[in-house]
Structure 1
Amino acid sequence: MSKKLILTISASDQTGLLNQVADAVSQAGGNWLESSMSHLAGKFAGIALVEIDPAKQSQLTDSLNALRESGLQILVEQDYDTPADTEQRLLEVEVVAHDRKGIVRELTALLSKLKVNIESLHTNRTVAAMSSEHLFEASAVVGLPVSLDDEDFRKHLETLSDDLMVELFDLDEERSE
């Protein structure tokens, strides 16, 4: 029986960092299952789910700890709780609005209030082509409670700002096609 580990990785960005982690996992006989990685402001950060034979876990942990000498910070979480399955629908949400301080807090507070689970969230600040104003863009995959329909969800989001534009894509529908 194998064991699953969550690796949280961060470092100043440089070529080959992720390869060092992947090599340590491979050398210990582990399997890289899922990951989400990103480069931001000269830093590299990510999270990965790996599977390992419990007999080789200490070998993997030792190899990952040795990578600290090269500037990598790696947290290995082995006894994590998997959330209880709740009935929800997956939606992709895209939001664009004029940028302002506190917009991420407002968005995440609303999602929390509505019991919407954030599966992934990517935000960006861009410049509008015609006006040169700063725009806030967010793309998220969320778990929407089945008790909340898409149109009500959209209306709640649009209360955040008069200029907020929302697009919703039902990911569960795409999977069933």
Structure 2
Amino acid sequence: MKQLVISVLGKDRPGIVDQLSSLVVKHHGSWLASSLTELAGQFAGILHIEVAEENVAALSEELLNQPQLLINIAEGSDSDNTADEQVMITVTANDRVGIVQEVTQVLNSLGISLSEINTHVGSAPNWGGLIFTAQLLVPCASDDQRNLIQDSLESLADDLMVDFSDE
């Protein structure tokens, strides 16, 4: 079996996920994981698909020829990094320009690779400003490493808060 990672971008409309999942099923593939969202009127998604090697070419050709969708396909590897404990880090702070770069730079300086990142900016009605929230899934081996991550992130700003939860 081959692992495919597929990115999809196009004007949001009903039926895109059905369109994609139908193609996967048609070519006897298995939809293993995905992250799909609407951003500024655009459908944006990434899929992890498993399909028999003999069906990869036909599935890829059909995916790449979908009207009104920009699709990119990359072959994944069979390596499984789930052996490392994963921890979810939630970072909350007043929104400001560059905050994503600041947070990811700290993690990079600690040699920590992001497994997943989701960010959101929303209003803070009681404070009259915008609140930034990021959820970061990272491999984390020890309490000492968690403490280092927390101290390093919280040193970015007085208003930045860091919470951990095990995945």
Tell me whether 1:64 sits opposite 2:63 in the alignment.
yes
Q: Point out where structure 1 has 5 or more consecutive residues left out of the alignment.
A: 172-177
Corresponding residue for residue 175 of structure 1 = none
Structure 1 position 54, deviation (Å):
1.5
> Contact between 1:115 and 1:144, CA under 8 Å: does it hold in 2?
no
For normalisation by structure 1, the TM-score amounts to 0.85
Which among 116, 126, 138 is matched to residue 134 of structure 2? 138
CA contact (8 A) 1:122 1:138 kept: yes
Q: Offset at 1:111?
A: 0.5
Q: RMSD of the alignment, in Å?
A: 2.0
Contact 2:3–2:77 under 8 Å retained in 1 = no
2:25 maps to 1:29: no
Residue 39 of structure 2 aligns with which residue? Answer: 40
In structure 2, the gaps of 5 or more residues are none
- TM-score of the superposed pair, with normalisation by structure 2: 0.90
Q: Are positions 1:6 and 2:2 aligned together?
A: no
The alignment-based identity, stated in percent, is 29
1:111-169 CA deviation, whole Å, 9 max, x = no partner? 00011121111111111121211111111111125484322221111001011111111
Q: How many Å apart are 1:24 and its aligned residue?
A: 0.8
Matches within 5 A, 1:1-177: 2-67=1-66, 70-78=67-75, 80-81=76-77, 85=81, 88-146=84-142, 148-171=144-167
Number of residues of Structure 1 aligned to a counterpart in Structure 2: 167
Q: d(CA) in 2 for partners of 1:135 and 1:97?
A: 6
Give me the whole-angstrom Cα distance separating, in 1, the residues matched to 2:29 and 2:147. 44
